[in-house]
Amino acid sequence: MTKNLTNKKRTKTPWPTKAAMEQVYTMKLWGDNHTKFYSGEGSHLPDFVNPYIQVVTTFLKHHENALHVCDLGCGDFNIGKQLVKYTSSYIGIDIVSDLIIHNKETFKADNLKFACLDLAVDELPSGDCAILRQVLQHLSNSEIQNILNKLTAFRYVILTEHLPSTDFVPNKDIISGQGIRLKNGSGVNILEPPFNFKVQEVTQLSSMPLKDGKSTIVTTCYTLF
């Protein structure tokens, strides 16, 4: 079900996202575990990773026919590698080209592919389920809107966001690559303005309060029409 991603026409991105994400890995701004690419503690610490793997695995195994999954913002693939076997096909996508080259060389499976794409600019592959794990929180509202316009092609969207634990004003705009909305007391809620993303069903898969007592990592499954 995935499209051929080679030789796709690309347009120049109006956002600094690609350069910002390349800098994150080059300068190891998310930490350093002595590997070439590291997507941070949120993708490696068992307290974060294990509950997420459990709920997403349960969701994937629930379907009689295995799903075609697109991991939009796959990072160093420490999490995605644990989900591949529960899918019919799995494609990991990231904006950092060297990271994708590394992932292609490191992770192998018959049903696994990788592609370097800008989610807000490039055409996305087709599939049943899109996974975005703490991706939108790094992006401007314009980029998020562009991505949401494409997500309507999927049956399911599994979205994880880092949110304030108390009531907050959602979707305060940011410049990509300059932190996340949490520092402004905000977070991404795709159901609220300016996005008003239309879905058929909302299922919260997990909610993990962090030790700071001020924020929570929430994973939600959206069933589309």
- C-alpha–C-alpha distance, residues 170 and 149, integer Å: 19
Tell me the residue range of the domain where 166 lies: 46-223
144 found inside a domain: yes
Residue 18 lies in a domain: no
Is the model's pLDDT at 6 over the cut of 70?
Answer: no
31-40, 72-81, 117-126, 210-219, range with the lowest pLDDT: 31-40
Contact 31, 40 (CB under 8 A): yes
Count of all residues that appear for the chain in the document: 225
Say if 61 falls within a structural domain.
yes
Q: Is residue 103 within 8 Å of residue 43, measured between CB atoms?
A: no
This prediction's pTM: 0.90
CATH number at residue 91: 3.40.50.150
**Rounded to an integer, what distance in angstroms lies between the CA atom of residue 161 and that of residue 33?**
23
Res. 104: pLDDT tops 70: yes
Provide the number of structural domains found in the chain.
1
In a domain, 55, yes or no: yes
In a domain, 65, yes or no: yes
pLDDT band at 218 (very low <50, low <70, confident <90, very high): very high
Residue 72 included in any domain: yes
pLDDT by residue (tens digit) across 123-156?
A: 999 999 999 999 999 999 999 999 999 999 999 9
Q: What is the mean pLDDT of residues 199-203?
A: 98
Residue 21 lies in a domain: no
Residue with the bigger pLDDT between 25 and 222: it is 222
Centre a 10 Å sphere on the Cβ of residue 83 and count the other Cβ atoms it contains.
20
In one-letter notation, the amino acid at residue 217 is I
User: In this structure, what token pair is assigned to residue 46?
Assistant: 């068992």
Confidence bin at 8 (pLDDT 50/70/90): very low
Let me know if residue 24 belongs to a domain.
no
